[in-house]
Structure 1
Amino acid sequence: MKNKLKLISCAFLLCTSAITSAQEVVIDKVAAIVNSGVVLESEVRDLIQTVKNQSAKSNQDLPSDAALRVQVMDKLINDALMVQIGERMGIQISDAQLDSTLTSMAQENNLSLEQFRTTIEADGVQYDKFRESIRTELITGEVKRGSLRRRIYISPQEVSNLLSAMKEQTNNDVEYHLGHILIEFPPEPTQEDMTAARDRAQKVIELLNNGSDFAKIAIASSGGDKALEGGDWGWKNINEMPTLFSEIIEGKEKGAIIGPIRTGLGFSIVKVKDIRGRQVVEVEEVRARHILIKPSIILSEAKAEAMLQDFREQIIAGEADFAELAKEHSEGPTSVKGGDLGWADPSIYDPAFKDALASLKVDEIQKPFRSSFGWHLAQLTGRRTLDATKQMNENKAYQMLYQRKFGMESTRWIKELRDEAYIEVFEPSN
């Protein structure tokens, strides 16, 4: 198998390099073989340049090109593995879903989609390549969530215990902005391997205590899944952290360097980058109904949109009833209820659907729009603000427990994938 893959790689190089006998131009090269797929040198170069551009914008120092290449290769190999899993699982991101995501990204930056594209290209990134990289991120996110959901179990007793602890805890309103560096063990580590990893972790702590840049070291040395983001774990309160970390971090001051913390994956080093009090946010629920039309080979995107626009005009003119049209035409499971979705937290909906409801007044009907499920005609029928309820607290506790376990389980899962995969990395040519 290994020799066969090498032959495939060599054939690829020959096909893309020799244009004429008088002049050889290498169009692209294989940087790594990942099972039956490849990572191309152009992908490595593009991601390295993207990381450099982002770091320049934020005045963030980077490690050496060699160290940066190692981290970039790791990410691209991990992405390749997860895309392969996504193909086996049948996960697909349509162009409509992709456009919806890109539109949301543009809106988050207060830009139109065209302005967003111009900004991307101004950074020296080809928009088509950026667009496909977002498709890959969406696929890998779906694969990771789907695969880890089956590996993470949270018992009702764990939720109950956490709820009790939250009631007793006096500093539950404190959040910590954390940075994380993982000095990994190799597969099936010996005592010597563990001692060597601890020595490396101690050296990292020494560098950090002497003023070295945390993010730069994380990019260069961390085996964690946030390495290319400088090890940034974001804001977490004590209940959202892995238990092993929360017991050590609680009460620490801003700037504290904590570790090395021994885990099953290696030695962790954590920095408290900042501390803040949790803001109290009221929870808003919305009630809506919709008519869903799914495009097909027979029914085009344009035809689906036109059908819903016609329905909207009939309803506004008083010539048709929303609920009756939903019962007759909607393809969603709520069609029997006239499209009624009931009361819900809008965050549970597809981003495009959530954004559409956010812009409506009560009883207003949105113009037809596309989500990952198809074309919708949606009407907001109610909006209310609720205080925290028992169910919401239970959901919150569940999510905290899930986040505690997700990070470590994600790193462990990816490590298992790599151990089971055929991976061959080629040295870059000078």
Structure 2
Amino acid sequence: MTKHFLAGAALSALLITPAVAQDAGTVLATVNGQDITLGHVIAATAALPEQYQALPNDMLLQGILEQLIQQEVVASMARDELSGAMRIGLENEERAYIAAMALDAVAMADIPAEELQAEYDAQYGNVEPVTEYNASHILVETEEEAQALIEELEGGADFAALAQEHSTGPSGPNGGQLGWFTAGMMVPPFEEAVFALEVGEVSPPVQTRFGWHVVILNDTRDQAAPALEEVQDQLIEGLRQARVDSYLEEMSAAAAIERPEMELDPALIRDLGLLDN
């Protein structure tokens, strides 16, 4: 629809004379006996991509109406001679549109505050705080190098300065700082060493597949469950999806669905020639 939209707007010089009462049934044009109404323009406007929604209303009105007129000029000539493919395509489009509107109405109905709170409580009410760790490390190739660094630290050397000078890891230029992490984010030997430390304490040499580490625990903190406001959008999205799933399950259970037993060659779904037979 958008391909010729702006061209249509530029071509049209149509001015709509206000009627005493204008509603969705107000006729804006008639093409070969087929009315194009304000309702048709409203529906087409709502379906425009976001980048077109910011256009001025007068441009939208003129452009969409012109496009609908052009479409009806073509459609009115072809409507009485629809091919089998066109008729089946229209049936699919109608089915999809009606279903989409019905599901949208189910999904987008208001979610009461108490329902949102209940969902938050169900997901986060019993979440235990998770401990986060902030550590720095110096990565070297051998245990001897690691032990020598520990001795320098015991003598008063600055950890960040040693990391910048000696660490072969990517965090070296940043003083070995690894930031905040929780259990499961680091390799097991490294985590075990960190978890055994007190804040400010330096570990003995720790070996991982990356080499030998000297680790200092900078700080710890508890990561509490997020506030309702932080997760509200994803909770609402989940509730809306749950509504749709429940509605589909309920409607399917109540529907009379019959599936004839037959052998069907799956390759037939690509045979466009069958549509016009």
TM-score bracket for this pair, using the shorter chain length: 0.3 to 0.5
User: TM-score w.r.t. structure 1 length?
Assistant: 0.25
